[in-house]
Structure 1
Amino acid sequence: MEDIPSYVSATFIAIVIAVLGFIYYAVSVAAPGKKNITSSVVITLLIGWIFFVSAQTFNGFFTNLSGVPRLPIFVAIPTLTIILLLIWPRTRAVLMNMPITTLHYMHIIRVPVEMVLWWLAVSRAIPFDMTFEGSNFDIISGISAPFAAVFMVGTRSKSRIGAIIWNLIALGLLVNIVGTAISYLPYFFTPTGGEVANLGVFYFPYVLLPTFVVPVVLFSHLVSLYQLIFKKDQSQF
């Protein structure tokens, strides 16, 4: 991982900070008042999670492939948390009030994420199959996100069906790259010849892609779909 240019890490750290900003704003709007206690608690927990996960990379926690696969466990934790948030009635009320335009604009970060993946592939930290040169078409979601935000859920025009379809397609593209990334993890894939495994995500800061950025993108899709399907007043999204 020493051969990866510093600007790649800097770009990815900027992506993480941007995602935190989107989440903080969305929660602040959904739970106003009380001196933004809710948003402060959420952002503190997220930053704590980021530091905890990142700290594990410096002692080789994730690169130790013996025993139970460790990275999938750290991916499962935020995923299960998202499910609980959607199930618990008290949090569902907050999720219903999140600004759906913000949740859509958040997907713009998928464009620089794809650039980071390409840079990592050039540095042989991940396979090219995980980039837009391979079977990863997730960059389409990032490019189309502003149009979905403006013309499907924005103030200019609204299309509930269009927004649902866009979210489902973008969610499918996310599932596709996640499946590809999993198939190249060293737990399941042994490189032969000039092939490389998906090793970049075992190191800082790229470990935050599967343990933070991807779960937040998933969260954004699920909350958007929840609002689009169950919110009665279309003018409120």
Structure 2
Amino acid sequence: MENLPIYVYLAFGVTVLLAIWLFYRATNHSKSFLIGILFWIIIQSLLALGGFYNNPDKLTSRFPLLILPPLLFLISLLVTKSGRVFLDRLDLRSLTLFHVIRIPVELVLFWLCVSKAVPEAMTFHGRNFDIFSGISAPIIYYFGFVTKRLNKWAIIAWNLICLLLLLNVVSSAILSLPDRFAQFGFEQPNIALGYFPFVLLPSLLVPLVLLSTIAAIKQLLKK
């Protein structure tokens, strides 16, 4: 990771800031959400900077610490009354636009692949078509909420497609972790996600995308 171009770090940093800002808007400027997100970022960043995740022999066993806490938090939102109220109060328009962050994420993954830090399967040159979600988000926003030419079922269908595309790239990321990639035919192990700041992709950006998708589907089904 020493030879990674500086623009890759800058692009990813801007993407993280954009994601926080967009979701902060979706929460109607919830201070508690912002404090919680910043606390989580600090914890994972300190662990990554301390080398907790960047040992290839231990990355696979420690990787759940990046994704399980946000996943459990999302489940708690779905099963508790206060959590469901929180999801229902999120701004649906902002949740839709939030998916634009998937464009710079895909660019960063491509640059990481060029630098031999992730497998090609995790990029749009491989089996990852997640960039479709980011490109189509402004279109869905315009026709769904500005001109209102799309009904709720069309927007639900789009969110479901986005969800499947997300699960596809997440599965590629997990299967290509250092001690598994050879078993599943990946040409390059996924090592980038063990380093700062890229640990924030599985621990922050992916959970926020998942949360925005599920919250949007939940709200649309209630209408």
RMSD: 2.0
Q: 2: CA distance between counterparts of 1:51 and 1:146? A: 31
Q: Which position in structure 1 is the counterpart of 2:103?
A: 111
Distance 1:26 1:184 in 2: 33
Match of 1:196 among 184, 188, 192: 188
Aligned partner (choices 50, 58, 62) of residue 53 of structure 2: 62
Tell me the CA shift for residue 49 of structure 1: 0.4
1:150 deviates by 1.6
The 1:204/1:66 distance shift into structure 2, 3 A limit, reads: closer
1:86 aligns with 2:78: yes
Could you tell me which residue of structure 2 aligns to residue 150 of structure 1?
Answer: 142
1:211 partnered with 2:203: yes
Letter of the 2:42 counterpart? F
Write out per-residue CA displacement over residues 38-77 of structure 1, whole angstroms, 9 at most, x where no aligned residue: x111101101100110111122111343498111222111
> Is the Cα–Cα contact under 8 Å of residues 67 and 203 in structure 2 kept in the other structure?
yes
Deviation readout 1:64-107 (Å, 9 max, x if unpaired): 43498111222111011011112211121222121111001000
C-alpha distance in 1 between matches for 2:60 and 2:175? 17
Query: In structure 1, how many angstroms separate the alpha carbons of the residues matched to 2:59 and 2:116?
Result: 26
73 and 110 in structure 1: CA distance in 2 versus 1, 3 angstrom threshold: same
Bigger relative contact order (CA 8 A; separation at least 6): 2
The one-letter code of the counterpart of 1:61 is F
Taking a change above 3 Å as real, the CA distance of residues 67 and 74 of structure 1, as seen in their structure-2 partners, is closer
Please say if 1:98 is aligned against 2:90.
yes
Go from structure 1 to structure 2 and tell me whether the alpha carbon gap of 1:57 and 1:67 turns closer, same or farther (over 3 Å shift): closer
How has the CA–CA distance of structure 1 residues 181 and 167 changed in structure 2, closer, same or farther, with 3 Å as cutoff? same
CA shift for structure 1 position 7? 0.8
- Does structure 1 residue 136 correspond to structure 2 residue 131? no
- Show structure 2 runs of 5+ residues with no match: none
**Which residue, out of 41, 48, 53, partners 2:44?**
53
Distance 1:67 1:212, change over 3 A: closer
Which residue type is aligned with residue 46 of structure 2? A
SS in 2 for 1:105: helix
Q: Report SS of the residue matched to 2:51.
A: coil
CA contact under 8 A between 2:59 and 2:194: conserved in structure 1? no
Superposition TM-score, scaled by structure 2 size: 0.93
Q: SS at 2:54's partner residue? A: coil
Q: TM-score, normalised by structure 1?
A: 0.88
> For 1:6-21, what aligned pairs fall within 5 Å after superposition?
6-21=6-21
Match of 2:216 in 1: 224
Q: 1:173 aligns with which of 149, 165, 175?
A: 165
Structure 1, unaligned stretches of length 5 or more?
Answer: 29-35, 232-237
> Contact conserved, 1:186 with 1:198, CA < 8 A, in 2?
yes
Residue matched to 2:112: 120
**How many residue pairs are counted as aligned between the two chains?**
221
Deviations, residues 179-236 of structure 1 (Å, cap 9, x unaligned): 1111101132249xx93200000001111000000000000000000001123xxxxx
Q: CA–CA distance in 2 between the matches of 1:202 and 1:41?
A: 28
Identity among equivalent pairs (%): 40
